[in-house]
Chain A
Amino acid sequence: EAQVTQNPRYLITVTGKKLTVTCSQNMNHEYMSWYRQDPGLGLRQIYYSMNVEVTDKGDVPEGYKVSRKEKRNFPLILESPSPNQTSLYFCASSPPSAVWTGELFFGEGSRLTVL
């Protein structure tokens, strides 16, 4: 089954404790992206990757890092989480042609709470 898998789905952590949210897709997609969703603001793009070893900032990259060492994986790293990073995070992937059509496959989301 084609899917985008995020882990963990739920996490409560404390300020400053480094964490990684993993994202893996089994569709051999080149394009992957991370979004965060906050009440009243919709989804905002954090980082995206057009292919292996190619990453770029989205609209809200501050406080986040990403890496793309393999095509299937696109982890989101919070080096020193702060309470303002409490949010619902979504990973998405698509083949390169679908980038322009917006046909993204989304993971089920990771709800992060930073105390």
Chain B
Amino acid sequence: KQEVTQIPAALSVPEGENLVLNCSFTDSAIYNLQWFRQDPGKGLTSLLLIQSSQREQTSGRLNASLDKSSGRSTLYIAASQPGDSATYLCAVVMEYGNKLVFGAGTILRVKS
């Protein structure tokens, strides 16, 4: 059974700092990995999707990497801003499945 773990569970940083969120998964037979952002009272917003054959994806100040063989992904946020404060979720789609398997998330707070 696939298990997705995110570390740290919570993170508080001053504005402007670069930061890394970590995601690990136990079964490397994934089709892709996706990072989401969740704001209170809102649904999930997809940030980056990395196919299993890719190593990384970039969008603006966000960069996500994937090491499928070691079961790890990182989300790098450059020059963090207070507006980045949210919960960040990592999820994988299994090769055989039709669902996302989510991690518990990292609660990020960027202080001004």
Binding site for B on A (CB under 8 A): 4, 31, 33, 35, 39-45, 48, 50, 58, 90, 99-104, 106-109
Residues of B contacting A90 in the complex (Cβ-Cβ under 8 angstroms): 43-44
- Interface size (B, Cβ < 8 Å)? 22
In the complex, B69 has a CB within 8 A of chain A: no
B76 within 8 A of A: no
- With contacts defined as CB atoms under 8 Å apart, how many contacts are there between chain A and chain B in the complex? 58
Q: Which residues 85-111 of B sit at the A interface, judged by CB distance below 8 A?
A: 89, 91, 93, 98-100, 102-105
List 18 additional contacts besides A42-B104, A102-B100; criterion CB under 8 Å.
Answer: A4-B43, A39-B104, A42-B102, A43-B89, A43-B100, A44-B102, A45-B99, A50-B98, A90-B43, A100-B93, A102-B91, A104-B44, A107-B43, A108-B41, A108-B42, A108-B43, A109-B42, A109-B43
* Minimum Cβ distance to chain B for residue A16 (Å): 28
Verify A42–B103 contact, CB threshold 8 A. yes
Q: Please report B residues at the A interface, Cβ cutoff 8 Å.
A: 4, 9, 31-32, 34, 41-46, 49, 89, 91, 93, 98-100, 102-105
